[in-house]
Amino acid sequence: MTVAVADDLKAALQGVAAGVGARAAALDAQRTDVRTDIAELGGAGLFDLGFGDRLDDIVHVIEEVSTLSLAVGFSAWAHRMTLHYLHLAPPQLREAELPRLRAGTRPGVTAMAAGLKHVAGLAPVPIAAEHDGAGGLRVSGPIRWASNVFHDALIVLPASDSTGQSYVVAVDADAEGVIVDPAPNLMALASTASTSLRLDNVAVPADRIISTDLHQFVGRIRPTFLLLQTAFCVGVGRAAIAGAGQRTSGLGEQFRADLTELTDRSDRVHARLYELAADPARGTTPDFIRLRLEAATLAVEATRLELALTGGAAYALGTGANRRFREAAFLPIQSPSEGQLRWELKQYE
């Protein structure tokens, strides 16, 4: 499927994509991190896209950068979701934080995985909130996984008090009481500053409370959350299929039917992604979940096929096929995980 893209978006994205592609190997080798890419996306105005009734432009951005580096596509998704949350925040918080987030000069962290899991009925919110008597909160508890956790980042996370009242709040990564655990040595995504955190009595002033109804908030953000995740799955899958398609001569002929089948599936997922992105209101929650699950599954299969067709060269670190294989290995456990997505779909059957 060919996506219609406005000339100004095409030009802006082309310039950023050149940088992403040039840095992909260095990101994979942990010689740099994604902050340069986030700043370039913001500087080109690409994080301003998708705040009306349509998401197809920002879906296109996430998809395209993910064909070059899933690390960048993944971090761009996390950053763009933080912007989405802030657009739903009270005016004072929006005015204070949106300019730097839009420009990509301050990283955004979406620590909302536990919130989505709670709304799905799978687990309680692990962050406990206590009222401070001045309209604000004090929050404590673990964030088991988050990305873009740089020292100057803004973190958006869920919390719940002893009465069951739920919240969505914004916290500075360098605030007193925020303890960032040493980052693990991740396969392919170490440049994304992904790690766990602990909050110990962290102050949240009243003007940093984004929502007092987690269920309603998740209902508003979930379509964007899942469609932009689908975009980075589609991006890395498309890149792997393109790489595999260059290696179907000789012994590669044995895989031609597999490649054709994957290409057809990829085209259908791609078309459905842009159909829903152009009008998210047409989709249901099962539609978004099913598409996200299918896109991730397809990406893993595509990178496996590219690895088989590339042969021994793909076993060497530094090659595109090897990097995509390792990047896509993350997708089944990326929250919502494959297990969570399958479980949620069953609730709608």
User: DSSP letters along 250-311, please?
Assistant: GGGGGGHHHHHHHHHHHHHHHHHHHHHHH-GGG--HHHHHHHHHHHHHHHHHHHHHHHHHHG
Asked if the model's pLDDT at residue 147 lies above 90, the reply is yes
Over residues 41-67, the mean pLDDT reads 96
Asked if the model's pLDDT at residue 18 lies above 80, the reply is yes
Fold (topology level) of 7-103 = Butyryl-Coa Dehydrogenase, subunit A; domain 1 (1.10.540)
Q: What is the mean pLDDT of the chain?
A: 95
- CATH of segment(s) 108-213: 2.40.110.10
Measured on CA atoms in the order 38, 336, 227, 257, is the torsion positive or negative?
positive
Is the overall model pTM greater than 0.85, yes or no?
A: yes
Q: How many other β-carbons are positioned within 10 Å of the β-carbon of residue 94?
A: 15
pLDDT of residue 253: 84
d(CA 127, CA 198): 9
Under a CB-based contact definition with an 8 Å cutoff, are residues 191 and 148 in contact?
Answer: no
Asked if the model's pLDDT at residue 3 lies above 80, the reply is no
d(CA 77, CA 283): 20
pLDDT of residue 311: 84
pLDDT per position as a tens digit, 153-207: 999 999 999 999 999 999 999 999 999 999 888 888 999 999 999 999 999 999 9
pLDDT of residue 2: 65
Q: Where are the domains of the chain?
A: 7-103, 108-213, 215-347
1-10, 105-114, 316-325: which is most confident = 105-114
pLDDT of residue 313: 77
Helix (H) or strand (E) holding 239: helix 214-245
pLDDT of residue 1: 58
Asked if the model's pLDDT at residue 107 lies above 90, the reply is yes
Q: How confident is the model at residue 349 (pLDDT cuts 50, 70, 90)?
A: confident
Question: Which one-letter amino acid corresponds to residue 153?
Answer: A
Asked if the model's pLDDT at residue 7 lies above 90, the reply is no
Fold (topology level) of 215-347 = Butyryl-CoA Dehydrogenase, subunit A; domain 3 (1.20.140)
pLDDT of residue 278: 97
Over residues 63-90, the mean pLDDT reads 98
